Amino acid sequence: MTTINKAKNLVLGSAILAALSCPLTATGALAGRATSGQTNVTASVPEFIILHYYSNIALNFITPDTEAIDQGDNSLKVTWAGESSEGNDLAKNLKTASLELDGNKTNVKLNNVWAVRGFSSGGTANVAILLDSDKMVLNGSEIGISNAQVTDDKTTSASITTKLGGITKAGATLGGVQMDLDFTKTTLSGNHTGGKYTITATTI
């Protein structure tokens, strides 16, 4: 056998041995080597809160433009000098109008005027209201404000604990404000200004 043939046989034998040493898959293809590792993932979410509110709210009361009330009959004594006396005391017998505010404060409910969303360790938030100015005025005419409260339709108070349902808009908690208005010192029509409250939201 020549040296060239011996070299060919040696190369061929080496190739056959290399092929036999590699495992085959079910389809006959050579199988690869694989290894894997598993990773644990954690995320730290910070406390975070968003308060939605209106910086200006205008209350436009709906009242009748005019009203005429028939007080019935009256009989008066009249002198020849034209002076009248006796008869019914109108001041003590005024009939009830469609709008009456004597001695009563008007409880005003402002729905959906604030909202909170965000994250807290307990999934809740404290929402509180404080009156910064308790009157609205116009040239000596005054509307008093008192008993300001916040509400989430479950709890109503000057300070409430409410659900904080995450950061999404859909998960926001909506709330309202209630307050008593006193019109006993109100003498003018028109825009009375100066009332002010502050809402504070805190994660808990």
pTM for the model stands at 0.75
**Domain residue extents for the chain:** 104-204
Of the pLDDT bands very low, low, confident and very high (cuts 50, 70, 90), residue 131 is very high
Mean pLDDT of the chain: 86
How does residue 18 score in pLDDT terms, banded at 50, 70 and 90?
Answer: low
> Is-contact 145 134, C-beta < 8 A?
yes
Q: What is the pLDDT of residue 13?
A: 54
Tens of pLDDT along 74-110? Answer: 787 888 887 877 676 777 777 777 777 767 799 999 9
Burial of residue 137 (CB within 10 Å: 0-12, 13-18, 19+) is middle
β partners of residue 175: 114
Q: What is the pLDDT of residues 35-84, one digit of tens each?
A: 999 999 999 999 999 999 999 999 998 887 788 878 878 787 888 887 87
pLDDT value, residue 31: 73
Contact 131, 180 (CB under 8 A): no
CA–CA separation, 190 vs 138, rounded Å?
A: 8
Burial 63-91 (b: 16+ CB within 10 A, else e): eeeeeeeeeeeeeeeeeeeeeeeeeeeee
Contact 203, 120 (CB under 8 A): yes
What would the pLDDT profile of 147-198 be if each residue is shown by its tens digit? Answer: 999 999 899 999 999 999 999 999 999 999 999 999 999 999 999 999 999 9
Q: What pLDDT, on the 0 to 100 scale, is given for residue 127?
A: 98
**Three-state SS string across 44-79, please?**
CCCCEEEEEECCCCCCCCCCCCCCCCCCCCCCCEEC
- What pLDDT, on a 0 to 100 scale, did the predictor assign at position 28? 58
pLDDT at 109: 96
Q: Name beta bridge partners: 203.
A: 125
Q: Phi and psi at residue 17, in whole multiples of 5°?
A: -60, -40
